[in-house]
């Protein structure tokens, strides 16, 4: 089976339904990238198929998948994917006469296949519901975005693709770091009040983060992780190797590190016991970023983000995007080999006291060795470039794709996968406050009925957990010149002409960054130049 990178769980599904689902998805994606005709329709179809690929990995319970009521509906998925593959293949180079004769028929086929794929997506909430009693906490902590889950939810914005601990993924070779302070555990424990719960400022796949104050007065963020974490020591080594060698205004500075050694006595029957040293924890010490993450300001509670300049100013938002793009540009040009971050997302963009953006979390970063460089797929679902997810082969635009998703988030304040109900819940509550009369009540009931009907149609755009895919929804509107339909209105209820022009420029740049074919994505220098132009447009509007 031609399964790709992070699609390991699809093997389970394929074995149960007797279909090479992973292989079909890979072939559809490849054919869509090389289509010569109906390119827009092929890309839209491929993005829906890619959504299936990402979400198949969440069906992890073999007992649930073996149930007849689950297997029967899935048995036709391979047929639908096979038709999708044949349809996209038919869009390769054809004569003008063929295109004229087949245009109408192909349009009908695209609509039919798209509808059938969407119907399969409707099955997954049922499967998820049957699975939910077995692993409720796991769904809350891994699959759902930050504030869409219950109390046990991790602050990571999207589920992260696991990296096997045994792989040599970093391609960054360990050596004793220079220019970094080596802290001892006791002073870091004292600085963070013994890692008190009220000092915890973050938690995710890379460990827990605490705020601390060093004896010299420096306020720091201390990342603490155990050596037995699924990713092993590789992220720790990667961060030290990269951040000890670079200093840049848009990258969070690393002050130092600590390796906690635990000594145990090993007993022997025939000879005296001896002490054995064993690494227990790894800690990294960064400069503290006073204003938290971009994710928090875009998606956090309304009460805490309403006064944020991120929410109030297009100028601030574009400045943040520009700073991050310059950080990516710096990484690609600062050494003999480009550095690829591999996890560009809003939760990895921090803001200092002056609202200057700083890129952080280099645990997955690697140096790119050039064309053909292959790695086990890692990153965060929703941000990973499709061709890298398919093949594991890296290219210089992997970070550009992730940054394209970030640009859409900043324009829309929607997550890569989002729940329309939760996003609009607060607005609806405010609108209902003044409805007290019988007439208002009847109007409210009518609106509720209309809403239910609309929700049925909206299912066609949702993923398997009832969430909307931002890229699939936003790109068609951007390409149609209707960016204003997805634009967040909180910075300006009635955007000025210059603000709309700037938003259009950012949106079109994001759309190019999100091209399925990585060769068609812009160079990071071009992205920087476009964001500089956008900043000039909004600078006068504040």
Catalytic residue numbers read: 343
CA of residue 12 relative to chain centroid, distance: 24
Which of 188, 332, 190 has its CA nearest to residue 260? 188
Q: Which two tokens stand for residue 214?
A: 């060093």
- Write the DSSP assignment of 12-49 as a string of letters: HHHHHHT--HHHHHHHHHHHHHT-SSSHHHHHHHHHHH
Q: Do 253 and 286 contact (CB within 8 A), yes or no?
A: yes
Question: In this structure, what DSSP letter does residue 514 have?
Answer: T
Which of 431, 157, 488 has its CA nearest to residue 312? 488
In angstroms, rounded to a whole number, what is the distance separating the alpha carbons of residues 160 and 204?
9
Q: Which two tokens stand for residue 54?
A: 């990402």
CA of residue 432 relative to chain centroid, distance: 34
Place of tokens 């949106």: 507
Three-class secondary structure of residue 7 per DSSP = coil
In angstroms, rounded to a whole number, what is the distance separating the alpha carbons of residues 43 and 51?
12
Place of tokens 């690393």: 254
Q: Is 426 annotated as a binding residue?
A: no
- Write the DSSP assignment of 329-387 as a string of letters: HHHHHSSSS-EE-S---GGGEEE-TT--EEE---TT-EE--STT-B----EETTTS-HH
Host H or E run for residue 55: helix 39-56
In angstroms, rounded to a whole number, what is the distance separating the alpha carbons of residues 280 and 27?
45
Cα–Cα separations (whole angstroms), residue 62 to 1, 11, 121, 128, 139 = 19, 11, 19, 13, 16
Q: Do 504 and 318 contact (CB within 8 A), yes or no?
A: no
Cα–Cα separations (whole angstroms), residue 446 to 173, 439, 452, 458 = 64, 11, 10, 18
In angstroms, rounded to a whole number, what is the distance separating the alpha carbons of residues 412 and 505?
14
Pairing mode, strands 254-266 and 181-182: parallel
Binding-site residues from annotation for ATP: 223
Binding-site residues from annotation: 223
């Amino acid at each position: 089976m031609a399964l790709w990178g992070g699609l390991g769980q699809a093997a389970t599904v394929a074995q149960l339904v007797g279909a090479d689902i992973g292989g079909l998805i890979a072939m559809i994606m490849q054919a869509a990238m090389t289509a010569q005709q109906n390119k827009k329709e092929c890309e839209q179809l491929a993005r829906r198929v890619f959504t299936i690929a990402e979400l198949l990995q969440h069906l992890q319970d073999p007992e649930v998948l073996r149930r007849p009521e689950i297997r029967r509906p899935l048995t036709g998925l391979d047929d639908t994917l096979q038709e999708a593959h044949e349809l996209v293949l038919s869009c390769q180079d054809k004569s003008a006469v063929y295109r004229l004769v087949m245009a109408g028929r192909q349009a009908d086929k695209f609509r039919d296949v798209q509808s059938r794929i969407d119907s399969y997506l409707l099955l997954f909430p049922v499967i998820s519901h049957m699975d939910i009693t077995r692993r409720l906490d796991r769904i809350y902590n891994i699959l759902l975005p930050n504030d869409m889950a219950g109390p046990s939810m991790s602050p990571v914005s999207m589920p992260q693709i696991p990296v096997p601990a045994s792989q040599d993924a970093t391609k960054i070779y360990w050596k004793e770091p220079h220019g970094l302070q080596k802290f001892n555990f006791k002073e870091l424990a004292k600085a963070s009040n013994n890692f008190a719960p009220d000092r915890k400022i973050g938690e995710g796949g890379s460990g827990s983060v605490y705020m601390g104050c060093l004896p010299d007065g420096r306020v720091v963020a201390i990342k603490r992780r155990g050596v037995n974490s699924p990713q092993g020591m590789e992220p720790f080594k990667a961060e030290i190797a990269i951040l000890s060698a670079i200093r840049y205004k848009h990258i969070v500075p690393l002050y130092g590190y600590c390796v906690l050694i635990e000594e145990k006595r090993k007993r022997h029957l025939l000879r005296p016991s001896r002490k054995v040293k064993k690494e227990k924890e790894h800690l990294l010490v960064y400069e503290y970023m006073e204003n938290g993450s971009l994710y928090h300001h875009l998606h956090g509670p309304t009460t805490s983000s309403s006064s944020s300049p991120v929410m109030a100013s297009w100028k601030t938002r574009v400045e943040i995007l520009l700073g991050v793009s310059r950080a990516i540009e710096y990484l690609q040009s600062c050494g003999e080999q480009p550095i690829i971050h591999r996890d560009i997302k809003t939760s990895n963009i921090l803001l200092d006291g002056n609202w200057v953006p700083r890129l952080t979390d280099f645990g997955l970063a690697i140096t790119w060795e050039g064309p053909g460089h292959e790695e086990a797929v890692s990153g965060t679902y929703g941000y990973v470039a499709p061709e890298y997810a398919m093949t594991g082969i890296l290219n210089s635009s992997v970070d550009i794709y992730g940054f394209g998703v970030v640009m859409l988030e900043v324009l829309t304040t929607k997550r890569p996968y989002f729940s329309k109900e939760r996003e609009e819940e607060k607005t609806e509550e405010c609108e209902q406050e003044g409805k007290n009369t019988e007439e208002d009540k009847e109007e409210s009931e009518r609106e509720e009925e209309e809403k239910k009907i609309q929700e049925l149609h909206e299912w066609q755009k949702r993923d398997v957990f009832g969430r909307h895919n931002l890229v699939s929804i936003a790109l068609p509107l951007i390409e149609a010149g209707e960016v204003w339909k997805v634009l967040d209105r909180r910075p300006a209820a009635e955007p000025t002409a210059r603000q709309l022009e700037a938003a259009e420029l950012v949106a079109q740049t994001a759309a190019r960054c999100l091209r399925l074919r990585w060769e068609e994505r812009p160079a990071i220098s071009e992205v920087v130049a476009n964001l500089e132009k956008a900043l000039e447009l909004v600078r006068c509007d504040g």
